[in-house]
Amino acid sequence: MKFAHVLLMLAVAPAGITFAQDSYQWLRDESRQSPQVLEYLQQHNRLTDEALSPVRDLQHSLLSQWQAMTVSKADEPWQSRLTMEWKLSSQRGELSLLRRASAKSPAQLVYSFAPRQAQADYYQIGAWAVSRDQSKLLFSEDIDGSERYQLVEVDLKKGGEKILATGLEQSMLYSADGQYVYLIRKDPTTQRPSEIRRLTVADLSEQRIWQEERADWLLSFYQASDPRYALLQSNNENSSEQKLLDLQSGEVRPIRPAQAGLEYYADVAKDTLFIKSNLHGQARLYTAPLKQPSEWTRFTQALDGLQQFYLFADALVAVTQQKADSQVLVFDYAGELKKRLPLNQQGQVAWVSRNGDFASNQLRLRSMSMTTPPMWQELNVKTLDLVTLSRDIYQNYHAERYVSEQVIAHQNGVEVPITLAYRKDKLNAHSPVILYGYGAYGFTMKPYFMPQIISLLDQGAIYAIAHVRGGGYYGDAWHQAGRGEQKRHSMDDFVAAAKSLQHYQQGERLVYAMGSSAGGTLVAGALNQAPQAFAGAVLKVPFVDVVNSMTDTSLPLTEQQYGEWGNPQVESALKAMQAYDPYGNIKAVPYPPLLVQIGLNDQRVPYWEGAKYLSKLAELSTGQGPYLLQTDFESGHASDRRKALEQQALEYAFLISLFKTSSQAEQK
C-alpha cells in the first residue's frame, strides 16, 4: 500500500528560509515555547471560551443525547494471529489487549494500557505485535500528539516493560525468533521516515537496513500474508520501490528498481509474489516467482479497475472500482473467477476490514449508511458463503424516520455527487445544511453512521458530504482532476455543492461547512471564492498556508507532496497554487462566522497555519463574526480519544447555535 504523511507539513523552519511579506509570520515558533506566542494562543482560547459560553448547555445536551442512544454494539471481528484471536479493546476510554482461542472461548486480558494512559494527557497506540511464542508484547505509543512514537516491549510471562527506542514511525515487526525488532527511524529534524533498522532486543544495538536519501521518498513496511516475509517499501507521490525481507534469515532482496511513475505493492503467498502495479498504465495484478521477483506475469485478463487485493489459503480476493461501483471478486489461484459481490449501494458504503489471516479464508465486510447502523459480514472465500456476523442495534433509534440519498451538483459540465441525510418529519423549506468535504489524496469520505450526525438530523439539519474532485469517489481519474494544478477544481465543486443544496427540494437553505486537515484547504478556499454561499464554518487543523509551506523546500515532505499540491518551482504550478491558496487570498469581504481548531503539537499541519489564517481573516473581514481560534495545548493533528466526543459536541453546538440564531432573526 502507498505510504503517505497526509498533509506533510512538519514543524521546522531552518535558518535562511525567507517568506513572502507576512505580518503574522511571528506566530511560527518551532520550539512551541515562545511566551509571546503561547500567550497569544491562550488569549484567543479565553476569548473563544467566553464567546462559546452560551452554547455550553447545548454542547452538554448533545453529549447526553449521544449517550442516551443505548446501543448494542456489533462485536467487531477479532484478528487472527498466531493460532489465536486478538482484539485491542476500548472500554470507557481505557485500552486493553485481549485474546481468546476461538469465538466460543472466554476472552483473556493480555495487557492493560490504562496505567500508561493515566500518565499522559494525550495517548495513542500506533501498532502492536506479539512474539511468535506469545511471551512478548511490542507496541508503539504517542504520548503528546506529535506522532513521534516510542517503542515499548512487555514481558508477558515474567512481567516488566521497557522502552526500546524513541523518535519512530509507528510501525514495527518482530523477527521470527523475537530476538530482533524492525523499526523505522524518523529524521530528528524533519520527522521524515528515512531509515529502516534492525534492533537487537538484548542490547538495544541497531543495524541499518535501508536508508532513504531521496528527500521526497518515505520508508514504510508491512507483514506479508506469508508470515515468514515482510515488504520493505519506499515511495514518493507517484512511484514506489520494494524489497523482500525474510524474517527468519534477515535476508533482504530487491523486487524491482525504482522507476519514475511506476507504482507497485506486493504480497507473498504460496512461494509467489502477487503485485498490484500500474506497469502498463492501469492498475493490474501480476505474479512473479520469489526467486525471480522482477519477472512479472499478469494474473488474469478478467481483472480491471483494481483497487486492492487480499490473499487467503484457498482464494485471491480483488476489490475493483468502475466509476462509483465497487465489487469484490473471488478468484482461485488459477485465475478463474468464482464469485462476484457488489460492494456498495447508492447512499451506502461498504469496505473490507479486519480480515482473518491467510489460513482463515475469512474476508470481512463492514457496511453502513448515514441512517443505517453498521453491520459486519463475513465471506468464506473457500465455500463462498456470506453470513452476517453482527449489527449495531440502537434501542432508541427508528431508521424509518430518516432518509439517506445521493444528489448531483453541476459544475461547468461536471456532475459532483453529494451524499446527504435528513429526518423526514423535521425537514422543511428552511432546514439548514451542514456540508462536509475533504477532496485530496484520492481518499473517499465514507458516509458513516454516527449518533452525532443523527443528533444533527434530530435538530432539523440536513447533513451532506460533497464528493469533490481530488478525492477518490470515482477512482484515480477523479483524484487526478483535483490535484496539483487542478486543485482549484475541488473548491469549485464544493461551492457548486453548497449553492445546489441552498435550494434542495425547492427550499431556501443556509449552508454551513466543515473541513479537517486537507478538508480545511477545501473549505477555506471555497470561503474565499464564495463567502456568501456559507453561513458559518468549522475548520479543524486546517492546511491553509499553502504557498508559504510548499515553497519551503528545506522540508523534505514538501517535495514529497508536490504531486498533490503543486510544485512552486514550476511557474504554472505556482500560479495555480497562488490562485487557490486560502491564506494568501483572504480579502476584505464579509466572511461568515468561523471556529478554527488547532493542536499545538501537530507535526502534519503545524498550529501556526490555522492561527495565522484566523488572525488575518478576523483583521480583514467586513462580516460580524464571530471568528474564533481554539488551541489544544495537549494534542497534535488528532484529539485524544478520551475528549474527542466533547470536542465534537462543541463544534456541532457552535453550528447549531448559528442556524438557530439565523432562524430567530428571520422570524422577527
Report yes or no on 147 lying in a domain.
yes
Identify the domain boundary among 346, 370, 391: 391
Q: Which amino acid is at 179?
A: Q
In whole angstroms, how large is the CA radius of gyration of the chain?
A: 25
Clarify whether residues 223 and 119 are in a common domain.
yes
> Residues 6 or more apart from 643 whose CB is under 8 A from it?
none
Clarify whether residues 387 and 454 are in a common domain.
no
Region 292-309 average pLDDT = 93
Clarify whether residues 369 and 288 are in a common domain.
no
Clarify whether residues 438 and 568 are in a common domain.
yes
More confident residue, 390 or 665: 390
Model pLDDT, residue 507: 96
Clarify whether residues 112 and 243 are in a common domain.
yes
Model pLDDT, residue 163: 98
Report yes or no on 589 lying in a domain.
yes
What percent of the chain lies above the pLDDT cut of 70?
Answer: 94
Region 118-134 average pLDDT = 95
Is the pLDDT at 215 greater than 90, yes or no?
no
Q: Model confidence at 667, in pLDDT bands (50, 70, 90)?
A: low
**Each residue of 266-299: b (16+ CB within 10 Å) or e?**
bbbbeebbbbbbbbeeebbbbbbebeebeebeeb
Structural domain span for residue 369: 307-391
Region 179-198 average pLDDT = 93
Clarify whether residues 339 and 255 are in a common domain.
no
Region 380-399 average pLDDT = 92
Find the CATH number of the domain harbouring 421. 3.40.50.1820
Find the CATH number of the domain harbouring 192. 2.130.10.120
Clarify whether residues 469 and 618 are in a common domain.
yes
Taking alpha carbons only, the member of 200, 99, 195, 110 closest to residue 154 is 110
Instruction: Report how far residue 191's alpha carbon sits from residue 556's, in angstroms, rounded to the nearest whole number.
Output: 9
Model pLDDT, residue 18: 38
Clarify whether residues 538 and 649 are in a common domain.
yes
**Residues 369, 457 contacting (CB under 8 angstroms):** no
Expressed in percent and rounded to 5, the helix, strand and coil fractions of the chain are 25, 35, 40
Q: Which amino acid is at 502?
A: Q
Model pLDDT, residue 555: 55
Model pLDDT, residue 666: 58
Model pLDDT, residue 17: 36
Model pLDDT, residue 561: 84
Clarify whether residues 352 and 416 are in a common domain.
no
More confident residue, 75 or 543: 543
Least confident of 39-43, 136-140, 359-363: 359-363
Is the pLDDT at 329 greater than 70, yes or no?
yes
* Mean pLDDT (the chain, rounded): 92
DSSP state of 355: -
Report yes or no on 455 lying in a domain.
yes
Model pLDDT, residue 76: 83
More confident residue, 13 or 536: 536
- At 506-549, the pLDDT tens digits run 999 999 999 999 999 999 999 999 999 999 999 999 999 999 99
Clarify whether residues 464 and 537 are in a common domain.
yes
Report yes or no on 47 lying in a domain.
no
Number of domains in the chain: 3
Q: Model confidence at 21, in pLDDT bands (50, 70, 90)?
A: low
Helices (H), 470-583: 476-480, 488-501, 518-529, 546-550, 556-560, 562-565, 571-580
- At 141-164, the pLDDT tens digits run 999 999 999 999 999 999 999 999
Clarify whether residues 535 and 609 are in a common domain.
yes
CA atoms in the 13 A half-sphere facing the CB of 71: 15
Is the pLDDT at 81 greater than 70, yes or no?
yes
Least confident of 199-203, 547-551, 618-622: 547-551
Output phi, psi for 275, to 5 deg.
-135, 120
- At 453-480, the pLDDT tens digits run 999 999 999 999 999 999 999 988 999 9
3 state SS of 611: helix
Report yes or no on 226 lying in a domain.
yes
Clarify whether residues 566 and 428 are in a common domain.
yes
Model pLDDT, residue 664: 58
Structure pTM?
0.86
Region 479-490 average pLDDT = 96
**Residues 127, 172 contacting (CB under 8 angstroms):** yes
**Residues 161, 153 contacting (CB under 8 angstroms):** yes
Is the pLDDT at 16 greater than 70, yes or no?
no
Report yes or no on 34 lying in a domain.
no
- At 251-287, the pLDDT tens digits run 999 999 999 999 999 999 999 999 999 999 999 999 9
Report yes or no on 64 lying in a domain.
no
Report yes or no on 26 lying in a domain.
no
C-alpha cell at 107: 476472552
Region 333-348 average pLDDT = 88
Q: Model confidence at 411, in pLDDT bands (50, 70, 90)?
A: very high
Q: Model confidence at 237, in pLDDT bands (50, 70, 90)?
A: confident
Identify the domain boundary among 336, 371, 391: 391
**Residues 471, 442 contacting (CB under 8 angstroms):** yes
Residue count of the chain, please give it: 668
Least confident of 210-214, 591-595, 603-607: 603-607
Q: Model confidence at 348, in pLDDT bands (50, 70, 90)?
A: confident
Identify the domain boundary among 306, 333, 359: 306
Output phi, psi for 282, to 5 deg.
-80, 155
Query: Which residues on neighbouring strands pair with residue 109, listed in sequence order?
Result: 98
More confident residue, 10 or 254: 254
Model pLDDT, residue 296: 97
> Residues 6 or more apart from 267 whose CB is under 8 A from it?
224, 225, 231, 273, 274, 275, 309, 311
